[in-house]
Structure 1
Amino acid sequence: MKKFNSTLVIINCLVLMLISFNAFAQVGIGTLSPDASSMLDVSSTSKGMLTPRMTSAQRLAISSPANGLLVYDTTESVFYFYNSSQWEKIDSTTRNNFKLVKTVADLSDELTSGGGTTYLLDENTLYQINGTINLAYPIDLNNAVVLGLDTYEDVLVKAGGSMFSGTTGGLIKNVTLAAPGGSVFSLNGTTSDNLILRDAVIANSNAVGSISGFNMVFMSVVQFANNTTGITFTDITELLMSNTGWQSNNSGVYETYTGSFNFIQKQGGFMLLDGSAVGIDVSSNPTVSDAVLSGVSFSGTSTQYVDGYTTGSYAGYNFNNSWNVNCPGIPVESDVVSGGNIYYDGAITTGFVQTITNNSALNLSGNSNSNSTTLVNALRTMSTQDNRITYTGKKTRTFQVNAALSIRGNSGVGDYYAFFIRKNGTDTLTETNTLMRVNNTSDISSNAISGTVELAPNDYIEIWGQRLIGSGSTSITVFSLNLSIK
């Protein structure tokens, strides 16, 4: 009977334990009060908890693992957990040469390195900006990397003075830069240094600043907003800009180029210009070996999008022969669209007289150079003397040539004349020949000339004539003459 009672007591206790477990649905090991948020609370100050340990092959052989399943892989000596459709490694490795900057105090070592007046960055370190950092001193990039993860939330602010100064470059990415009352850049690099700025915003600054002397400066996807004045680039070997955007709330001159450049390329993006704002200033006549300005949209109420070259440019255009320009809002400029037109600017009712003494070809310069011509609509062409168009572009190209003459034969009824284009004073373009017969000395003949010609830089063309049939001394009068290439 006692044995039966003891068994009954044990059964009752087990039932109570099960009821208690179901009621609380929690297990505490090493603690009598498991955390309310935990199904299992293991507490110890001297022991750990072991997860299942297995080889990689055993882990991969688990059938239909549940999301969150945790094991220790003895083959790789690392924890794995199952996530949706694959095993994910829990990697405890961290980056070397990395610093997370959450306050300016995180740059105290760099301030010490900079002598207490500059944050001298470690050239081998990536500095991750987290949040808004108010700088008290300038940053010397020292070829380091400054990186944010959220362009609009990771912000560097420097009130007054310069934010970045020094003689070295580096990489700046995914941050907003603001220098109220000061300038963002005051950098004077060397031809062995490069500066890269990308995926960034420069805003609310007194000036974007100045960058000079670098081997390469590369800017990509940079937005400029609410800056009082822009940026000046000086003496840079390669200046490359892609998809930079200037909002209309900027003022002053957005981009100024001075000094010497081997190559400039500015592609894509926009410049919104209102009031007296100027997009690009090249009025100091910078020396550029080759430049491409393509796909940049210029728009706004400003009356001067570009402050152009004062020497080497052409009427109605902004740049010299080193630039290839194709942007909405400003004139297209390149060798491909070069051209010009000359016309006789004397009295059309009297014209000029050309005396013919033999049957050799001659330049229609008129007696005593009385053929006076004016060059108009010129782009990469010039006219250093009357009846001549000289190509001044940089690359050899083929032109369409058109000319027209109004001519009267003053004597020699029955004589024949040919009129044609001659290149460089020696090469007759036979395909441009057009003929005139003197039927009587009162008729005025209209002759059209058309053809193509390949011109290298500084090659020129002129309108020439030649008596084909006739002899002795005769003359013709040219009442109108024009010549164009495009």
Structure 2
Amino acid sequence: MNLRFTYLTALLFTFFITSSYSQVGIGTTTPDASSILDMSSTTQGVLTPRMTTAERVAIASPAKGLLVFDADLDVFYYFDGTTWQPIGGGDKRNNYKLVKSVADLSDELTAGGGSTYLLDTNTLYEINGTIVLNYSIDLNNAYLIGLDTNEDILVFPGGTLFSGSNGGSIRNLTLSAPGGTVFNIDDVSGSQNFVLQSSVVANSNSVGTLKGFYLAFLNIVQYAGNTDGIAYESINDLLLNNQGWLDTNSGTYETFAGTFSLIEKVSGFSQVSAGNIGVDLSSNPTVGEGVLLSTAFSGVGNYVNGYTVGSYTNYYFTKEWFVNSPGLELETDFVASGNFYNTNSLTTGFTQTISDGTAVEIEGTGTFTTDGLFRFASSGGGNRLTYDGLATRNFKVTGSLSIRVLNAAGDFYAIMLAKNGVVITQSNAVAYIDSNTQIQNIALNCNVKLAQGDYVEVFVQRLTGSGTDTLAVFSENLSIN
């Protein structure tokens, strides 16, 4: 009788609870009115069914919304009525780390011995917000990216932001080292790559030094408010594209030193304010091929501090460079030019003995000087122009002479150009000698193809007559361009 009473009482109690409450609380006596089940705990969690992938996909007729934890993949899955879908972690990429504070780099600081943030090789680090560092970063061939250059910022006050001997890639970030240096990286192996792209370098004591890389590629970088610029040293291939130097920078913006196979600086601008230098080449770097193209130089500062050896008078660069940028003198093989002329008195000139019909250089007792040599050199007493450029090309050669020939009345003479000591036939200009007092003006005009090391001279040849004649030259001028 008592047992039957107890059973009925429990049944009635259960019915009362079920019908009186639409929510169930675990760990709380006041479940939320919007929930069927409200669980509250500060020491425990909810444990869903855990199973292998094979067990999950073997569930017969799973209900829409069914939730399990896949222990093989370490991911929660839910059934959407058609297929199993991962939740959250299923879309996470490998070798990735989100950095929202310097504390997120604690593992890297440990790897760097407590004095450097040694990044994990081939790992992508996404910088979110402003990260104020306490130590330098060793890129270690990792990737650093941001999504918003204005908001994603790396700052190291008073220190060197990036150091070590490893390359890596940096994109979409603002880099700043107030009172310090942004880069001090020396790839001693000469085999690594460095990439800086779509970034801002600002408000630093020095942009710093990049040295030794096999390839360094800097693309779409803005520099602002830096006390001094960047030095590139002995990089095999250095590619600089769209570098923007604002006039808020000071010091020397870009310095090149050491040995390079290629320097290619294209587009961008340099606003060089008073007392500052845009490009410094004064250490005379060795460059296999140099290109400075379409970079706009402006301002009242010194655009280029040029080579001290190997360049040409009133020019900055050596023959290995192709320079075509607004604000700078055009320096390419295609504008190579030169001129020589004799400096003897116009009324007396100089003389030369002609004893046979062989074509010989006009030199005699004359003295010569050169003017406007660009990628040409003078030799042979100053009246030989030697091409110094690298590109084989056609040149236009023009010349003029005023001459008189003694003891040659009735004879014919030819004045012509010679390339490498060989007469250029199409350049012949013929003169008939009428008397000892006759002065004739000779014009020369010819196109000639020159390769590096080829040279041009002015020759004379007696075409008729014999004996010994005296050629008097009152003026001689030759130009090539």
TM-score (norm 2): 0.84
Matched, 1:280 2:279: yes
For residue 150 of structure 1, report the CA deviation from its aligned partner. Answer: 0.3
Once residues 448 and 431 of structure 2 are traced to their aligned partners in structure 1, the CA distance between those partners, rounded to angstroms, is: 23
> Structure 1 residue aligned with 2:430, among 413, 431, 435?
435
SS in 2 for 1:250: coil
Matched, 1:447 2:442: yes
For residue 462 of structure 1, report the CA deviation from its aligned partner. Answer: 0.2
Once residues 466 and 350 of structure 1 are traced to their aligned partners in structure 2, the CA distance between those partners, rounded to angstroms, is: 22
Q: 1:34 to 1:443 in 2, by over 3 A?
A: farther
Q: How does 1:343-362 map to 2 (within 5 A)?
A: 343-362=341-360
Q: How does 1:4-83 map to 2 (within 5 A)?
A: 43=37, 51=64, 72=80, 74=82, 76-78=83-85
> Structure 1 residue aligned with 2:389, among 389, 393, 401?
393
SS in 2 for 1:314: coil
SS in 2 for 1:205: coil
Q: How does 1:246-395 map to 2 (within 5 A)?
A: 246-302=245-301, 304-366=302-364, 370-385=365-380, 386-395=382-391
Q: How does 1:168-179 map to 2 (within 5 A)?
A: 168-179=166-177
Matched, 1:424 2:397: no
Once residues 347 and 110 of structure 1 are traced to their aligned partners in structure 2, the CA distance between those partners, rounded to angstroms, is: 79
SS in 2 for 1:229: coil
For residue 411 of structure 1, report the CA deviation from its aligned partner. Answer: 2.9
- Corresponding residue for residue 223 of structure 1: 222
Amino acid at match of 2:277: V
Amino acid at match of 1:247: L
8 Å contact from structure 2 (residues 241, 267) kept in 1 = yes
For residue 144 of structure 1, report the CA deviation from its aligned partner. Answer: 0.5
Once residues 200 and 440 of structure 1 are traced to their aligned partners in structure 2, the CA distance between those partners, rounded to angstroms, is: 78
Q: 1:94 to 1:408 in 2, by over 3 A?
A: same
SS in 2 for 1:470: coil
Matched, 1:458 2:458: no
Once residues 127 and 392 of structure 1 are traced to their aligned partners in structure 2, the CA distance between those partners, rounded to angstroms, is: 50
For residue 315 of structure 1, report the CA deviation from its aligned partner. Answer: 0.6
Gaps (5+ residues) in structure 2?
1-21, 26-30, 40-45, 50-61, 67-77
- Corresponding residue for residue 212 of structure 2: 213
- Corresponding residue for residue 151 of structure 1: 149
- Corresponding residue for residue 95 of structure 1: 93
Q: 1:33 to 1:127 in 2, by over 3 A?
A: closer
* Partner deviation per Cα, 1:358-378 (whole Å, 9 max, x = no partner): 111111011xxx222111111
8 Å contact from structure 2 (residues 64, 81) kept in 1 = no
For residue 409 of structure 1, report the CA deviation from its aligned partner. Answer: 2.3
SS in 2 for 1:431: helix
* Partner deviation per Cα, 1:20-62 (whole Å, 9 max, x = no partner): xxxxxxxx88799655xxxxx6656689996489xxxxxxxxx
Once residues 456 and 105 of structure 1 are traced to their aligned partners in structure 2, the CA distance between those partners, rounded to angstroms, is: 63
Amino acid at match of 2:181: S
SS in 2 for 1:453: strand
Once residues 241 and 202 of structure 1 are traced to their aligned partners in structure 2, the CA distance between those partners, rounded to angstroms, is: 15
Q: How does 1:160-199 map to 2 (within 5 A)?
A: 160-189=158-187, 190-199=189-198
Q: 1:351 to 1:309 in 2, by over 3 A?
A: same
SS in 1 for 2:80: strand
Q: 1:362 to 1:124 in 2, by over 3 A?
A: closer
- Corresponding residue for residue 401 of structure 2: 405
Matched, 1:128 2:126: yes
8 Å contact from structure 2 (residues 356, 468) kept in 1 = yes
8 Å contact from structure 2 (residues 63, 79) kept in 1 = no
8 Å contact from structure 1 (residues 371, 387) kept in 2 = no
Once residues 407 and 205 of structure 1 are traced to their aligned partners in structure 2, the CA distance between those partners, rounded to angstroms, is: 67
For residue 471 of structure 1, report the CA deviation from its aligned partner. Answer: 1.6
Q: 1:52 to 1:157 in 2, by over 3 A?
A: closer
For residue 212 of structure 1, report the CA deviation from its aligned partner. Answer: 0.5
C-alpha RMSD of matched pairs (Å):
2.2
TM-score (norm 1): 0.83
Q: 1:450 to 1:78 in 2, by over 3 A?
A: same
- Corresponding residue for residue 238 of structure 1: 237
Once residues 289 and 237 of structure 1 are traced to their aligned partners in structure 2, the CA distance between those partners, rounded to angstroms, is: 9
SS in 1 for 2:369: strand
Fraction of identical pairs, as percent: 46
Q: 1:73 to 1:462 in 2, by over 3 A?
A: farther
Once residues 125 and 73 of structure 1 are traced to their aligned partners in structure 2, the CA distance between those partners, rounded to angstroms, is: 37
Amino acid at match of 1:106: D
Amino acid at match of 1:466: Q
Once residues 454 and 36 of structure 2 are traced to their aligned partners in structure 1, the CA distance between those partners, rounded to angstroms, is: 91
Once residues 193 and 452 of structure 2 are traced to their aligned partners in structure 1, the CA distance between those partners, rounded to angstroms, is: 34
Once residues 92 and 452 of structure 2 are traced to their aligned partners in structure 1, the CA distance between those partners, rounded to angstroms, is: 60
Q: 1:431 to 1:236 in 2, by over 3 A?
A: same
